[in-house]
Amino acid sequence: MANLKELRSRITSVSSTMQITSAMKMVSAAKLSKAQDAITSMRPYAEKLTQLLQDLSATLDDDSGSKFAEEREVKKVLIVAISSNKGLAGAFNTNIIKKVKSKIQDQYQGKEVKVYSLGKKANDILKKTYPIHTNNNGIFDELTFENVSEIAEELMQLFLDEKFDRIDIVYNQFKNAATQIVMDEQFLPIQKFESESNVQLDYIFEPSKLEIVKDLIPKSLKMQLFKALRDSFAAEHGARMTAMHKATDNAKELRDDLKLSYNKARQASITNEILEIVGGAEALNG
C-alpha cells in the first residue's frame, strides 16, 4: 500500500485535475449554448435553400450555363476535412480522421486525392500520410458568413479551373451535446435530383431561369459550407462538454478511492503506533 505522503500528493493532483475539467465543462457549456442557437436558427433557411436548389436541379440542362453541375471523370479529388483546433473533445476529431482515411483508401483508391484542412487537429494527423492542399486553422477564430464565403469561392474556382473533378466535405453534424454524426457530403459538382413524381414544378422565373440558377447555386454552395462549419463548431463544444463531464466524474471517483485508501492507511498507521506504545509499556512493567 502506498505511503501516506504519496497518497496525499495523488489526492491533491487529482483534485486539481478535477477542478480544471469542471471549469472546462462549464466554459464549453456556455459556448455550446451560443453555437447551438446559431446553427438552429440558420438550419431552416439552409434546408429551404437546398430544397429549392434540388427542385431546380432537375431542370438544369446544357443551356443552363451552370459549370458547377458538370460531371467529369473523377481523377482528382479534394476532401474538405473539418475538425477543431483544440483537443480534449473525445472522439470528435478522431472520427473525422477515420472517415477521411476510409474515403481515400476505399472510395477513391487509385485517384489523386488531396485534403483541404479546416482545423488543426485533422491537419496534424493527415499531413503525415496524405498531401494537404490547404490548411486553414484561423477560420474558427472569426466564423462569419463572409469569411466562409471566401473559402467557398476558392473551392468553386478550383472546380471551375478543373484542378479537381470532385470536392467532398467531411464534418461532424450537431445533434445534441452527447451525439455528433459524421457527415460525408458531395460539394461539387452539385447533384441533380430527379423528382419522384411526374408533377411539374410550378415556378415562375423572374428575371429569367438562367440568371436565377447562376445566382442561386453559388449562394447555396456558400450556405452549405457555412452550415457544415457551424454544425462542426457546435458539435465540438458539445463533444468537449460531454468529455469534460465524464473526466470530472472519473476524477471524483478516483479521488474518493484515494481518500478511502488514505484513511485506511492512516488508520493502520495509528493502530501500529498504539500497538508499539502498548508493547513498550508492557515491556517496562515486565
| Domain containing residue 147 | 22-243
Residue 6 lies in a domain: no
Residue 43 lies in a domain: yes
Residue 5 lies in a domain: no
Strand order in the sheet with 166-176: 132-135, 112-118, 76-82, 166-176, 179-188
Give the pLDDT of residue 193: 62
184/102 Cα distance (integer angstroms): 11
Q: 463548431: which residue's cell?
A: 233
Residue 282 lies in a domain: no
How many angstroms separate the Cα of 104 from the Cα of each of 94, 164, 188, 191? 16, 15, 17, 21
Give the pLDDT of residue 63: 47
pLDDT, averaged in runs of 10, over the chain (286 residues): 82 93 93 90 86 68 65 94 93 96 94 96 94 93 93 95 96 92 93 56 70 82 94 95 94 93 88 82 73
Whether 90 and 242 have beta carbons less than 8 Å apart is answered as yes
Give the pLDDT of residue 58: 61
Residue 186 lies in a domain: yes
Residue 102 lies in a domain: yes
58/252 Cα distance (integer angstroms): 58
Q: What amino acid is encoded at 275 in this protein? A: L
Residue 276 lies in a domain: no
- Tally of structural domains, the chain: 1
Q: How many helices (H) and strands (E) does the chain have?
A: 5, 5
Give the pLDDT of residue 276: 80
Give the pLDDT of residue 3: 83
Q: Is the peptide bond before 189 cis (omega within 30 degrees of 0)?
A: yes
Question: How wide is the angle at C-alpha 103 spanned by C-alphas 101 and 105, nearest 5°?
Answer: 65
235/84 Cα distance (integer angstroms): 10
Residue 284 lies in a domain: no
Give the pLDDT of residue 275: 82
CATH number at residue 116: 3.40.1380.10
